[in-house]
Structure 1
């Protein structure tokens, strides 16, 4: 197993449930300078120890994990974590999968292959979503729902009453003017959203 010549060895441990003992993972890491342990599953930034570990790591450090699935169960998330650490000059070691160690040429190559596979998965997901939306539209059942909340519509009305152009309000809300007009008028998707309908006019 490789180690950092200039920095610290930082251990990271994650257990999936509150009653799962992290001792086996900690033992597998061997001698480390500091260990971060998350005892509940969650998305990357919902894991406080992961966030703290990434913030703590410095250039020249090495993060040591028992296996890739302990760092993240999603290939895409795993690659994002590795990319974030690599950008800081931090290497990643996997005790059970040394062929994926980022400070090794073969490991870097394998990570590149994983990235290509993940990108293909993302493309496949986008393609399936697009196909699903197209089929739903053909059946007349596709509806993404309103983009603006009741609170946003109320705020938009207040700003317009104060003289702010509708085009500027729509831009600030990140919607088209036609969407804003529909929301103000309470038509289409907005029949059940917002306050009393207000006739929309273009500017």
Structure 2
């Protein structure tokens, strides 16, 4: 029976907690398994690292590769950059005679094609980095203040957060007693609408919006 070892990677602990990056990778892997994998197949293991693609010290990837070597399973990743952003690192894995690599987003790519793709992607990233540094140097030479837009955005975000916190305090006398009495988020949303209280943006309440208010009050 065909076996796969699934490997996923997210760049930061925050991404790992939010699940956003992991959900997208899981979706792509599931699409590959449903549409391209030989059947029947078996998942021998699933491993996830929360580390930068530039970090070659990956404990979960090491476990995944060891399992591939012991079982003969194929290493399955959603995208090539989830494995690494360094072509040398990817090449070393593909040169391992006991490891077979499969990329879900490129289901029919062979070893040679994957190597070329990794090399081109690394070259493009290097060029983008050089172009960004050159643009910053030119802006600095013209006397343009760098970081101003970021500061303005930060101030706007702080104002939005303060407004949201103030609104949460406004509806607190209704929301908290209802939640304490066991009302569901949907029931609280209905009670607020029934009382003629609009959301901060003047719309109808949803359970998700009620949840956000409760989180701000926690």
The normalised TM-score by structure 2 is 0.41
Question: Relative contact order (alpha carbons < 8 A, sep ≥ 6): 1 or 2 greater?
Answer: 2
The structure whose residues are more often helix, as a share, is: 2
The normalised TM-score by structure 1 is 0.44
